[in-house]
Amino acid sequence: MKSRRFEWAAPDRLVGEIREYLSHEDRTVDVSGIAAEVAERGDAALLELTAKFDAPEAESVSLRVGQNEALAALEALDPEVRSALETAIANVRQVAEAQLGPDEKDVKLPQGHTVIVGEVPVAAAGIYAPGGRASYPSTVVMGCVTARVAGVDRVVLVAPPRPDGRIDPATLAAAALCAVDEIYAVGGAQAIFALARGTETIRPVDVIAGPGNAWVQAAKREVFGEVAIDSLAGPSDLTVVVDSKTNLRWAALDLCAQAEHGEESPLVAIATEPGVIERLEVEVDAVASASPTVKDCKLALVEAPSAVEAIALVNLVAPEHLELMSADSVALARAVRTAGCVFTGQEAGTAFGDYIAGSNHVLPTDGTGRIFGPLSPATFRRATARVSLNAESVRALAGPLESLARAEGLPVHGLSANRRAKDLDQDEE
């Protein structure tokens, strides 16, 4: 684990220094070539790219994964893992259902007309679950359960296959538990372009959600507007706020657990009291040196002059995960405006949110918490409005409408309203 201490400065200047230190040169990638390949050659491009990047050891690769394969993976799954997945599914479903409001509300306006506002689910959602040499059945749960709760009819899962060309069995088993409609063994930028624009085998979707590497995020940026996307989720990051009362071994374990996601994961630790950062750094080194799965990430260490200043810096960092491990965590949490998910108190480690607490682990990263929030049913629903007018409201609104239309230079808009009003008056005579 590489770490660097930063001298306190104005938060808006300090956050720039931290970002420069934590950034990776290859964070921005060019996916235009992949986009062109998928558009021109469809399935053939997906198969070729999958064989090249994900499954070089496979004798052959195929896109569509049959439901029988997912059900077989579920039957073969370790019972303890199945039980854990079922617990996670139940908790994520309960939290997602709590986020749903009434489907429709009738709004009665003073002029006598009604506007019915509500939400409807999109028809199809694509969930991206990272894979390849690691597996993320938990991401299947987070994305697919939430889409189902939102009311989506067609839920599609894409995941990169392992080098042998097969999707990890735990990921398939999770897909079976979540009743996913379609599963495809394809990952990377090519999977995003296939979901957005379609190929011979994969029909396009309306919303794409799920975390991924720099290639996946670059592709999501490119297709945004053609489809909706959840957020720019990946690579994963963590910021912790600690003081002299913090269990620093727990804090070190949480930072190192985040480092398991890959060396691109940015880590920040902010202490609100003197001497704490030095002790935390020792604990992090001890955990990292004893854990072969911990990647060589960069850790930014900051000593803030106060808890208030620490939160000011946090709001500029806009971390994906924020752990408030100081004594005043509940009060501090009220001042947080940009974090993807806030874990308050020492017991609330990020790992619980990653897997089983019920909150969604598909969160905005790379500072985009300023504009995006966690994956929720709202990601898969779109607002609607139905307008109903009667004779009374037509008469009341036609005159003001005509004035506005004339001011905008669109006179036929006004004429369409006034014609209705006049015809309605004649009908009543």
Positions annotated as catalytic residues are: 320-321
Sheet of 64-65: strands edge to edge?
64-65, 182-185, 154-159, 124-128, 207-209, 228-229
| CA pair distance 367, 338, nearest whole angstrom | 8
| CA pair distance 37, 20, nearest whole angstrom | 33
What are residue 113's DSSP bridge partners? none
Handedness of CA 248, 253, 258, 263 (dihedral sign): positive
Instruction: Report how far apart the first and last C-alpha atoms of the chain are (Å, whole number).
Output: 85
187, 190, 193, 197: CA torsion to nearest 10: -100
* Phi and psi torsions of 128, nearest 5°: -100, 120
Strands (E) located in 68-200? 104-108, 114-121, 124-128, 154-159, 182-185
Contact in structure between 253 and 287 (CB atoms under 8 Å): yes
| CA pair distance 419, 130, nearest whole angstrom | 58
Closest C-alpha among 185, 235, 233, 181 to residue 210: 233
* Phi and psi torsions of 74, nearest 5°: -65, -40
339-352 per-residue burial string, b: 16 or more CB within 10 A, e: under 16: bbbbbbebebbbbe
Which residues, other chains included, contact 263 with Cβ-Cβ below 8 Å and sequence gap of 6+? Answer: 295, 296, 297
